[in-house]
A = this chain, B = another copy of it.
Amino acid sequence: MPQWLTDDEQRAWRGLLQMTSRLDARLNRELQQTSGLSLADYDVLVLLTEAPDGRIRVFELVADLHWEQSRLSHHIARMQRRGLVGREECSTDRRGAFVVLTDIGREAIEKAAPGHAATVRRLVFDGLSEEQVAMLEAFTGRVLSRLDRVTSAVPGDGPAEGIS
Contact = CB atoms under 8 A, between A and B. Distances in A.
A98 B90 CA distance: 50
A160 interface: no
A73 interface: no
Interface string A120-164: 111111001010111111011111101100101110010001101
Q: How large is the interface on A (under 10, 10 to 19, 20 to 34, 35 or more residues)?
A: 35 or more
A11 B30 CA distance: 22
Interface in A92-125: 113-115, 117-125
Interface stretch (A15-23, A52-60, A80-88): A15-23
Interface string A1-44: 01111001101110111111111111001100110000000010
A150 B22 CA distance: 13
Contacts of A22: 66, 144, 147, 162, 164
B157 A2 contact: no
Nearest to A8: B133
